[in-house]
Amino acid sequence: MIPLRDSAAPRRFTLVNCVLIAINLGVFGYEVSLGSRVAVLMERFALVPRALTSWLQTMVVGERPVWSLHAPLTVVTAMFLHAGVLHVLGNMLYLFVFGAAVEARLGARRYAGFYLAAGIAAALATVAFAPQSTVPVIGASGAIAGVLGAYFVMYPRGRILTVLPLFVFLYTLEVPAVLYLLLWFALQLFSGLSEGRAGVMSGGVAWWAHVGGFLFGAALGPLLARKPGPRGKRRQRLSIRYGQNS
């Protein structure tokens, strides 16, 4: 199912969400401009679980001073890198559809911090399940999974306009957000459990980053949310009821 829009966002174009999308697209444009040299960029800024695990072990044991912060910084830099056009466009579509409503509830500053925190939590979940993996991990999907988790809890009555491909036909239908996101989360969890530790990034997908990011967002998002005033509540009810976006 491909999401097109949600019914809960009071505004579709919100500041931080648009900036995040622009940054991701801009970084991907830079990747494309590098040509074959993009491998060097990936090697330097992608998250490698084994490298982060080694850094943490060195810091805890204290055998020698930890001068380089390169390994821990990759939990942030990796979330702005993507492996291809479909990878970045798919992630940005989900961020565009679900991010605006979450930013409306958190506010711009909290949303920016929440997004980064969710991405870090998702990266750490991947490292926890594959601490010795040398496969580079990139992409914004872990942070976006956090946005989906927050949306799931904060907008239980939301509806998602969805494209459903069946054979050679495309159908559009509105799906309750709770059902849509439960199915999405179930797929991530089932895939992660099916692949086990050996397949944490099977097929190029970091399943446990999605699971960890979603659970993190569902837990933290509501705690950071601002309570909507009477006008905000009324607009939210009308938006959900009639599926309108301003």
Domains in the chain: boundaries = 2-224
At which residue do the structure tokens 């054979």 appear? 167
In this predicted structure, the answer to whether residue 66 has a pLDDT above a threshold of 70 is no
Q: Which two tokens stand for residue 185?
A: 């989360």
C-alpha 6, offset from chain centre: 17
Task: Quote the pTM value.
Answer: 0.87
Give the model's pLDDT for residue 67. Answer: 63
Neighbours of 37 (CB within 10 A): 9
Give the CB-side neighbour count of residue 126, counting CA atoms within 13 A. Answer: 38
CATH number of 2-224: 1.20.1540.10
Closest residue by Cα to residue 75 from 135, 142, 13: 142
Residue ranges in 130-229 assigned as alpha helix (H): 141-154, 177-195, 207-224
Residue 244: pLDDT band with limits 50, 70, 90: very low
- Show the beta-strand stretches assigned E in 84-132: none
- Provide the β-strand partners of residue 173: 162
For residues 144-164, average pLDDT: 95
More confident residue, 166 or 25: 25
